[in-house]
Homo-oligomer: A and B are copies of this chain.
Amino acid sequence: MNNLYNKKNINNEENVMLNVYLSGEIHTDWRDEIINLCQKEGLDINFSSPVTNHELSDNCGVEILGDEENNYWKDNKGAKINSMRTKKSIEDSDVVIVKFGEKYKQWNAAFDAGYASALNKSIIVIHSDDHQHPLKEVDAAACAVTKDQGQAVKILKYIQQGNL
C-alpha cells in the first residue's frame, strides 16, 4: 500500500509515472548519475533535461536562424529556443531537481528554480556547503536540500515507493 500508485492498480492499468526535470549545470555527468541510480532502484520516473551539449546549446540560435554580429542577439536567439524546451519540461514536471556546481554563475539554474516555485512545483536543490549562504532564498523555496545526487535519488525512491 505504500506506492504512490500501486504497481498494478485494481484494474491492471499501468502506473502513473513521476516526471522529474533536471535543471542546472551541464559540465558534469550528474544527470546520468541520477538516472542510473534510479534505474538500479527500479524507479518509475520520466526524466527531462535541457540540451546538455554546451556548444550546441550556445550556438543553436545562430545555427538554425542565421548569424548575428552582436553576441547579445546570438545569445538571445539561442536562449529563446532553449526556453521552449525548458518551459515544457518544468510545466510537465512533478519535481524539479536543481543542481548548483562549483563553477560559473549558473543564473539560469536559479531562474528555473524561481519559475518552478511560482508554478508550485516540488523542488530539490543539490549544492555543496560552500554555496549555502548565497543560495538561502533558493533553498527556502525547496522541499529538500541535498549534498549530492545520492540523497536526491533516495528522496525520489521514498516519494514513489514509500521506503528507503
Among B38, B69, B159, contact of A84 (Cβ-Cβ < 8 Å): B159
Chain B residues with CB under 8 Å of A116's CB are: 114, 118
Contacting residues of chain A (1-60) with chain B, CB-CB under 8 angstroms: 1-2, 4-6, 9-11, 13-18, 31-32, 35, 38-39, 42-49, 51-53, 56, 60
A1, A32, A83 — most chain B CB neighbours (10 Å): A1
Contacting residues of chain A (71-88) with chain B, CB-CB under 8 angstroms: 71-73, 75-88
- Complex CA gap A118/B77 in Å reads 20
The reply to whether B9 and A65 contact each other, CB–CB distance below 8 Å, is no
Contacts A49-B1, A118-B114, A120-B120 known; A164 to B60 CB distance under 8 Å? yes
- Complex CA gap A157/B82 in Å reads 12
Among B76, B95, B134, B162, contact of A104 (Cβ-Cβ < 8 Å): B134
Additional A-B contact list (14), CB under 8 Å, known A77-B144, A84-B159, A114-B117: A1-B52, A2-B51, A10-B39, A11-B43, A56-B163, A60-B158, A64-B151, A75-B136, A76-B140, A82-B137, A106-B134, A107-B110, A109-B110, A110-B110
